[in-house]
A and B are shown apart, each in its own frame.
Chain A
Amino acid sequence: MRPFQYNRARTLADAMQMTHDAEATPIAGGTNLLDLMKLQVETPGQLADINRIGLTGIDDIEGGGLRIGALATNTVTAAHPRVRSDYPVLARAILAGASQQLRNRATTGGNLCQRTRCYYFTNIDQPCNKRDPGSGCGAIDGVARLHAVLGASEQCIATYPGDMAVALSALDATVHVAARDETERRVPVRDFHCLPGDTPWRDNVLEPGEIITAVTLPPPVGGTQVYRKVRERSSYAFALVSVAAVVEVQDGVFSRADLAFGGLAHKPWHDRRIAEALVGSAPSDELFDEAADILLESAQGHGENDFKIPLARRTLHAVLSSAAGEAA
């Protein structure tokens, strides 16, 4: 690991000063950042330890929603009574990720900011436009089993690896960010992560020096919530495909169908046309196929990950038919 200066922040203002003025990299749980520092993928000159600045609370907000502090651990969030009762898709998504030891350290903000597990990104001997802009992409025409089939570019086909953010996308959560001018800006989680385009080094819309302070969830809705994750082994593996669904059926037709997908793209994938196609129609195999057609309209495999396209279709089918069955 390269040498760095370590400073412990005591308040958010303290942390902002370190990340803004001193260009320090914030560290929370550290489970992703320290791993990448050992691999020399990340080589920060300064670390700002933000673990002692507060922001760990999970609190009811006016109108019935929930505010989850940026430094609430994944474990605490998944075990929180209101998350378990009102936002089960979020609890399920968190519990489907990593191991208990990692979830005990991982935080809301850090989880949103975790970086891709693309093998070329994490190996500094390989080309990677995300890590080393202009060096090329090893994954295109390379080992691409984990990689994107939606929204990729000629520069990068990496996937966003997380589960939590997929559920947050289905729930239409909002990310709260402390901006450099000491104001707070709010970003819908669906707009928080970026597609690679010509700037594959950019994972999300955070500007240098900005720190996530919280995620807020809208008031709970009725219906059924499902998180279905397909992976290589039954625990402790990243998603090949995952689906987060918040689904309600009334009078025999979908009255709500908020879906988000993991493992398919550089961000949790959300396409509002899918809900538009489902809402108002009665659940049927033909309808599920129509939803899958919309989802996969522009899907493109890269050899090793071609299987993700039919897998996404089948997983969407399975989730919609079981959710519609439960919600009916």
Chain B
Amino acid sequence: MTETIAVNGIPRPLPDDPRVSLLDFLRNDVGLTGTKKGCDHGQCGACTVIVNGIRINSCLTLAVMHEGESVTTIEGIGTPDEPSALQRAFLEHDGYQCGYCTPGQICSATAMLEELANDWPSDASEKLEGKVAISDDEIRERMSGNLCRCGAYANILTAIREVAAGKTA
């Protein structure tokens, strides 16, 4: 039986060569080029995807390690006709310049909002226990794994803050 991985809900056969990273698999084998290769060494976050609900760097994991698992890429988060709340907010607030890091930023922020909802603490949290108070410092710390070489951080922060505030309001 062929081993598969679900990509945005569609089962895909895993590659024969175990060396293929999840990132290269998504881009080259599945043809979903929304996920970007920045550094390919886990330093920039451009390749961030959501696997079984958890955000990870797809460059630092092998596709074969995810047999039977479920991957959501930027293509699975929204479409031009039906963007997600974060995608709308990034458009509204100009949360990018060149746009190369944007799919990773949005995948990362999508999962980050769930982490906030679960009250997982961060390095910026004053207390380890209880409800996390959303602040700019919390969002910056939680998004520190996603670099933006254009330096569009101010608008990225504004976009995420707006959606985070809406979620908790």
- Which residue in chain B gives the minimum CB-CB distance to A47? B18
Q: Are B108 and A101 neighbours in the complex by a CB distance under 8 Å?
A: yes
Produce 1/0 per residue, B64-77, CB < 8 A to A: 11010000000000
Residues of A within 8 A of B61 (CB): 29-31, 34, 105
Q: Which residues of A contact B122 (CB under 8 A)?
A: 95, 100
Contact segment of B28-36, B38-46, B88-96, B149-157: B38-46
- A6 and B121 alpha carbons, distance in the complex (Å): 36
Q: Are A49 and B65 in contact (CB under 8 A)?
A: yes
* Whole-angstrom distance between the Cβ of B118 and the nearest chain A Cβ: 8
**B56 pairs with A105, CB closer than 8 A:** yes
Contact mask for chain A residues 73-111; partner B; CB cutoff 8 A; 1 contact, 0 none? 001001101001100100110011011111011000000
Task: Flag if A31 contacts B42 (CB, 8 Å).
Answer: yes
Residue of B nearest to A105 (CB): B56
Q: Which residues of B contact A4 (CB under 8 A)?
A: 18-19
B41 near A35 (CB under 8 angstroms)? yes
Contact call B128/A92, Cβ cutoff below 8 A = yes
**B120 to A35, Cβ gap below 8 A?**
no
B82 within 8 A of A: no
A105 x B60 contact (CB < 8 A): yes
Picked from B48, B125, B129, the residue with its CB within 8 Å of the CB of A101 is B48
Q: Which of B112-142 contact A (CB under 8 A)?
A: 112, 115, 118, 120-123, 125, 128-129, 140-142
Return the contact of A75 from the options B42, B120, B128, B140 (Cβ within 8 A). B120
Tell me whether A101 and B57 are in contact (CB under 8 A): yes
Q: What separation, in Å, do the CA atoms of A234 and B118 have in the docked complex?
A: 24
| A19 CA / B130 CA spacing, docked (Å) | 42
Give the chain A neighbours of B123 by CB distance below 8 A: 92, 95-96, 235
In the complex, the answer to whether A104 meets B21 with C-beta atoms within 8 Å is no
Tell me, yes or no, whether B97 is within 8 Å of chain A by CB: no
Give the residue name and chain of the A residue nearest to B65 (CB).
A49
Q: Are A100 and B55 in contact (CB under 8 A)?
A: yes
**A85 touching B145 by the CB < 8 A rule?**
no
In the complex, are the beta carbons of B145 and A100 less than 8 A apart? Answer: yes
Whole-angstrom CA separation of A96 from B112 in the bound complex: 17
Other 16 A-B pairs with CB < 8 A, given A4-B19, A31-B42, A100-B122: A5-B18, A6-B62, A8-B67, A30-B60, A34-B61, A38-B41, A79-B120, A84-B129, A101-B48, A101-B55, A101-B56, A102-B60, A105-B56, A105-B57, A105-B60, A236-B144
Chain B residues with a Cβ under 8 A of chain A = 18-19, 21, 40-42, 45, 48, 54-57, 60-62, 64-65, 67, 108, 112, 115, 118, 120-123, 125, 128-129, 140-142, 144-146
Listed A/B pairs (6) with beta-carbon separation below 8 Å: A4-B18, A78-B121, A85-B128, A95-B125, A100-B55, A105-B56
Q: Pick the 9 closest A-B CB pairs, nearest first.
A: A99-B145, A6-B18, A235-B144, A84-B128, A236-B144, A95-B123, A79-B120, A101-B145, A31-B60
Interface residues of A, Cβ cutoff 8 Å to B: 1, 3-6, 8, 27, 29-31, 34-35, 38, 47, 49, 51, 75, 78-79, 81, 84-85, 88, 91-92, 95-96, 98-102, 104-105, 234-236
